[in-house]
Structure 1
Amino acid sequence: MLKAYVLAEGGPSPAALPPIEALGRGEAGGIGWVDLHTPDKTEEAAAEAFLGGLIPTQEELSEIEFSSRFYVEDDIVIMTASIIVGIDQGTPGLTPFSFALGRDKLVTLRYADMTAFKQFMQRSMKASSGCTSATGVFAALMEAFIDRSADVLERIAQSVDRLNSEIFDQRARRRQRNRRLAGAISGLGVQGDLASKTRESLASLERLVQYAAAMVPDPPKSKGTFAARLKLMLRDIRSLEDHANFVMNKITFLLDATLGLISTEQNKVISVLTIVSTVLLPPTLIGAIYGMNFEYMPELHWHVGYPAALGAMVLSAVLPYLYFKWRDWL
């Protein structure tokens, strides 16, 4: 899908992209931004004709080496970051998002729907968004990605705080507590995975901002505001990275604490069972050795002896079960 926008004081406004022949002659019709979402070959060719240079392929976007994600070709700055997606759907992951920034022209390339991009489009329609140029759209998009990362970290921190309360809640009964501890391990694993993906996304955004600060010239009309925005982005990203590290350390602590509490509960049960087995072992041993070796046994002529023995067997199995159930060991 290809969408073209004219960049004006009121923000980006959709427009029809001229034919490739007209784009090759530099007739863009005032269009300053082209957004590609899972494009086909024809749309890629139209975007390259508009930009006046090649855009990266999907295979190149997936590579992790610095030289494949950040480079300059034909006076066009190519920058790619990993953006977290799929959080609202419960399937978080990282997907590449690429900027191809030329002179007063911008092409963005993505292969997934992004909440941050949708939020940016809603904000960009305001006159105060600053999306009046290619560098303005680039800066506003980066700020939207950073804001989204902050929202994700806040959600993770809230979930971790809730899990912390469940793990150290002493008021619950033993069975409920054991179930909560078992569920907390799964919850901590999910939040830990999400936090690590967010941390990886922030690291890629930091590299992109550093590269843009070095390679993208400050537009003459910006009067230094573009460079100032990049510095502020870098400061925000680093603060979010510190917060992400704190959250990941807390998740690690809670995971260790949960495993320790589960081990403690299991040790209590095993110790009780060990004591019971030790107490009953001598009578069982004596009964096994001498119980059937007497010549005169009154029970041999007892009419209710066999049913009484069966009842004693059942009772000896039911009573320990009820006791363990009462102590919430089962």
Structure 2
Amino acid sequence: MLIAYAIGARGPEVLPTLGPDGVERVPPEARWIDLYIPTAEEEALAQAFLGAEIPSREESQEIEFSSRFYAEDGAVFMTASVLAGIDLGSPVLTPFIFAVSGERIVTLRYDDMRAFRSFLARAKPSNGCEDASGVFLGLIEAFVDRTADVIEHVSGEVDRLNREVFVARRDARRRGRRLSALIGDIGTHGDLASKARESLASIERLVQFANTMLKGIYGKGAAGNRMKLALRDVRSLEDHVNFVLSKINFLLDATLGLISTEQNEVIGVLTVAATVVLPPTLIGTIYGMNFDDMPELHWTFGYPLALLAMAISALLPYLFFKRRGWL
């Protein structure tokens, strides 16, 4: 899908791209083209509009710096990894490509992004969206704001998990099952926080590259101040998400440690029970052999004495373990 926008005093405005003959074309007053899973024909229109070749999806997913940030044919290409699919419960990092040539800008994306929709909803002149630099910086700010919201959500969930992990031990059996279930929640939020950190790192590289390559356009006046503020916000969020990730790692270690402790307690109880029962079992086994030369078998009080010996042999280890605090 190709959407062409004019950028002026009223902010971005959608332009018709279908001519009277039904052929899709880019209007001459267009200043911004947004490509969403484009066809080959739409890519060709965008390339003619920009005057440079648009990178393919495979090229945009490469991790080399030179593949994500470069200048070619008078255009500057920048790719950021942006969070998508969070509302659907399947967060992914998807490439978002900026291609800037003078006052013309092309954006290329392959997933629907909440941050992009939020930007379009508030893209007004009062928010600085009066030219290509306003669109570029507005999108960067929208991605940073969305990532900040995700980190705030993860931070709140980590606090909740922290309370659940360290609750009072009322029901050991139910708590053990709950701790096992919490490991999955901790892993899910840890994965989301890791993706947020990776996205912030890519946005930071993009802003730094844009500040170098587009300084003549976006590095002056209000645009330059917005660029510096966006970079400062990204770095502060990186510090925060690193703190959240350290808390998640601590929670994971603590949860595994508590599960191991409870398993050890169960094994300890079983060990004590086996130790308590072992002496009576030994006595009963001895007197169950029925040899002819066993005078105790003919005693009148042999049976109750054997029971008493078994009871005492079981009681003594129990009292010993109780005194040592092992029960």
Q: Same fold (TM over 0.5)?
A: yes
TM-score by length of 1: 0.84
1:251 equivalent in structure 2: 248
Query: Which amino acid is 2:86 matched to?
Result: I
Identity of aligned residues (%): 57
Contact (CA 8 Å) 2:15, 2:27: kept in 1 or not?
no
More off after superposition, 33-42 vs 260-269: 260-269
1:265 equivalent in structure 2: 262
2:96 equivalent in structure 1: 97
1:128-166 per-position Cα deviation (integer Å, ceiling 9, x unaligned): 122111111000000000000000000000110000010
Matched, 1:293 2:285: no
The whole-number CA distance in structure 1 between the counterparts of 2:107 and 2:231 is 21
Q: CA RMSD in A?
A: 2.0
Alignment of 1:128-147 (within 5 A): 128-147=126-145
Contact (CA 8 Å) 2:96, 2:109: kept in 1 or not?
yes
Alignment of 1:180-191 (within 5 A): 180-191=178-189
Matched, 1:159 2:169: no
- Give the match's secondary structure for 2:119: helix
Alignment of 1:21-170 (within 5 A): 28-124=27-123, 126-170=124-168
Moved beyond 4 Å, runs of 4+ = 294-298
1:312 equivalent in structure 2: none
The whole-number CA distance in structure 1 between the counterparts of 2:178 and 2:91 is 24
Note the residue ranges of structure 1 that are not aligned, 5 or more in a row.
20-26, 299-330
1:12-47 per-position Cα deviation (integer Å, ceiling 9, x unaligned): 11102377xxxxxxx842110000000010000000
From 233, 236, 239, the equivalent of 1:236 is 233
The whole-number CA distance in structure 2 between the counterparts of 1:171 and 1:238 is 40
1:215-265 per-position Cα deviation (integer Å, ceiling 9, x unaligned): 013339x85111111111110000000000000000011111111111111
Aligned residues: 290
The whole-number CA distance in structure 1 between the counterparts of 2:71 and 2:236 is 29
1:276 equivalent in structure 2: 273
Note the residue ranges of structure 2 that are not aligned, 5 or more in a row.
20-25, 299-327
- Give the match's secondary structure for 2:215: coil
Question: Post-superposition shift, 1:171?
Answer: 5.4
Query: Which amino acid is 2:119 matched to?
Result: F
2:195 equivalent in structure 1: 197
1:318 equivalent in structure 2: none
Query: Which amino acid is 2:260 matched to?
Result: S
TM-score by length of 2: 0.84
